[in-house]
Amino acid sequence: MQVSKEKLEELTKAARKVRRSIIEMTAEAGSGHPGGSLSCADILVALYFHEMKVDPQNPDWPDRDRFVLSKGHAAPALYAVLAERGYFPKEELKTLRKINSILQGHPDMKKTPGVDMTTGSLGQGLSAANGMALAGKLDGKSYRVYVLLGDGELEEGQVWEAAMAAAHYKLDNLTAFVDHNGLQIDGPIAQVMSPEIIQEKFRAFGWHVIDVDGHDFEDILRAIEEAKSIKEKPTVIVAKTVKGKGVPFMENQVDWHGKAPSKEQAEEALKALER
């Protein structure tokens, strides 16, 4: 698959806007998870700005592709993408985590247009995505289901219950991403509780596995195309990413997992994101 130069530029531009929004909204909220939001931003942009069949004017369209943000703490990335796609006014982003906001600290499908599943408690998203994929098969619908997991999240046992079930039910209409940024709250995943070797584990569970650079749109889009061509088994795209990607002082720094930037830090970050 050849991705046009124009397309790549459009995605790069959208990703920059999304990253700026992530910084602005977490700074305004005074809390939230910028590190893991920045690491998965390009994957979400690739899905919502290129791949997924969705209608922001009709978010509950029954035939739409679905997306489940299993690593729900990356909500700022999802909200920024949804706002950029026109699901709700960008103005709303300023209300993140504030009282009575449609933008809860973790995704709430009943409050935010475009959010397909309520998540935040780690390990639960893949099961819900399986349910959506099973429903699609049962109804003979052609929609596809995408789900994004964190690499630290793979430490949750339920993920592997769901991984077993997705392969058992041959859910080839389901594609999972692992945002493999290598860091979790208490430190590097290798030190806290290694989920490695991630690819081998999924392969052993009966999945088709693709490795990508999670910040390279050509790579991501090619992998999504490959996933669509795989029959009788689910696909996982293990995306090597950088936590805090795009903001030099946040990159690969575990401290930026769940801490909002100050005003000054936000300004510095936004400057870095101008380029």
Partner 1 sequence: MPKIATRDAYGEALAELGEEIKEIVVLDADLSKSTKTNVFAKKFPERFFNMGIAEQNLMGTAAGLATCGKIPFASTFAIFATGRAFEQVRNSICYPNLNVKIAATHAGITVGEDGATHQSIEDIALMRVLPNMTVISPADATETKMAVRAAAQIKGPVYLRLGRHPVETIFGEGYEFKPGKGVILREGRDVAIIATGVMVAEALKAAEILEKEGINAMVVNIHTIKPIDEEVILKAAECGAIVTAEEHSIIGGLGSAVAEVLSEKKPVPIKRIGIRDVFGMSGKPEELMKAYGLAAEDIAEAARTLIISKP
The binding site for partner 1 (CB under 8 A) comprises 62, 66, 68, 108-110, 116-118, 120-121, 123-136, 138-139, 157-158, 161-162, 164-165, 168-169
Count Cβ atoms within 10 A of the Cβ of residue 99 and give its class: 0-12 exposed, 13-18 middle, 19 or more buried. Answer: exposed
* Residue 143, both tokens: 């929609």
Minimal distance, residue 219 CB to partner 1, in Å: 28
CB of 205 to partner 1, least distance (A): 13
Alpha carbon of 57 to those of 24, 83, 110, 249: distances in Å? 25, 12, 16, 37
Task: Work out how close the CB of 136 gets to partner 1 at its nearest, in angstroms, rounded to a whole number.
Answer: 7
User: With respect to partner 1, which residue has the nearer C-beta, 28 or 161?
Assistant: 161
Q: Are 187 and 254 in contact (CB under 8 A)?
A: yes
Q: Which residue, 124 or 181, is less far from partner 1 as judged by CB?
A: 124
Nearer to partner 1, 165 or 192 (CB): 165
What is the dihedral angle through the alpha carbons of 157, 163, 164, 166, rounded to the nearest 10 degrees? 140
Q: How far is the CB of 127 from partner 1 (least distance, A)?
A: 2
Counting beta carbons within 10 angstroms of the beta carbon of residue 116, is it exposed (0 to 12), middle (13 to 18) or buried (19 or more)? buried
Q: Return the number of the residue (129 or 254) whose C-beta is nearest partner 1.
A: 129
CB of 113 to partner 1, least distance (A): 14
Q: Which is nearer to partner 1, 165 or 185 (CB)?
A: 165
E strands present in 26-102: 66-69
